[in-house]
Amino acid sequence: MLNRIRNFLARHMLLTNIGTSCAQIGTADIIQQHINGDVDRDGWDWRRTCRMAAIGLVMAPSLHCFYRVLDTRKFKGSKNCKVLKKLAWDTSFIPFFSCTFITVGAIYEGKSPQAAFAEYCRKMWHIWKVDFTLWPPAQLINFYFLPPALRVVYVNLVSLLYNCIMSYIKNNELHHPSH
């Protein structure tokens, strides 16, 4: 059974990754709306959930291509050295992926590209705190233990937690603490 799943994922990785990403981001938004009390206060905002889920249409192909390139690079050294090099590359792309997430979501809301990027700039320090706390350890597990065919699926599972947080950040104005 596991071999059949692996074969399916290997043959249809991009479609699997897109479907998983859309479902996972949408689910994370529903969870976040419940946790934040939005559903009790205003009812479920299914349009927002659809917009959030549709972010997966952009994020999944981006991640799919990124990991394919990363997995085909011939990093030299021991397994530990190779994993650390992949982790460094992955960490260096965190700002690109978080910017894509927020700006695509804002564009789906009807904002201009400039307004979408401005939203990202307002929220980026909050996002980066989450990004750099969660992703490096998660990706260490990803690169050290998992075969390439399961990488985006694994990232999507970790992303369920991450995207609950991102949904909150995306759909709320946050304030910097005063010093």
CA gap 98, 169 in Å, rounded = 11
Q: Are 129 and 174 in contact (CB under 8 A)?
A: no
CA gap 120, 126 in Å, rounded = 10
Over residues 117-164, the pLDDT tens digits come to 999 999 999 999 999 999 999 989 988 898 877 877 787 789 899 999
Residue 179 lies in a domain: no
Residue 81 lies in a domain: yes
Sequence-ordered list of residues with C-beta below 8 angstroms from that of 79, at least 6 positions apart, any chain: 144
CA gap 152, 113 in Å, rounded = 27
Q: Looking at residue 179, what is its pLDDT? A: 45
Over residues 63-84, the pLDDT tens digits come to 889 988 888 888 888 989 988 9
Q: E strands within 18-64?
A: none
Residue 147 lies in a domain: yes
Residue 154 lies in a domain: yes
For the chain, report the end-to-end CA distance as a whole number of angstroms.
56
Residue 44: which domain range?
Answer: 1-171
Q: Are 162 and 134 in contact (CB under 8 A)?
A: yes
Structural domain count of the chain: 1
Residue 176 lies in a domain: no
Residue 42 lies in a domain: yes
Six-digit token pair at 80?
């530990």
- H or E element that contains 6: helix 2-11
Q: Looking at residue 12, what is its pLDDT? A: 87
Residue 103 lies in a domain: yes
Residue 177 lies in a domain: no
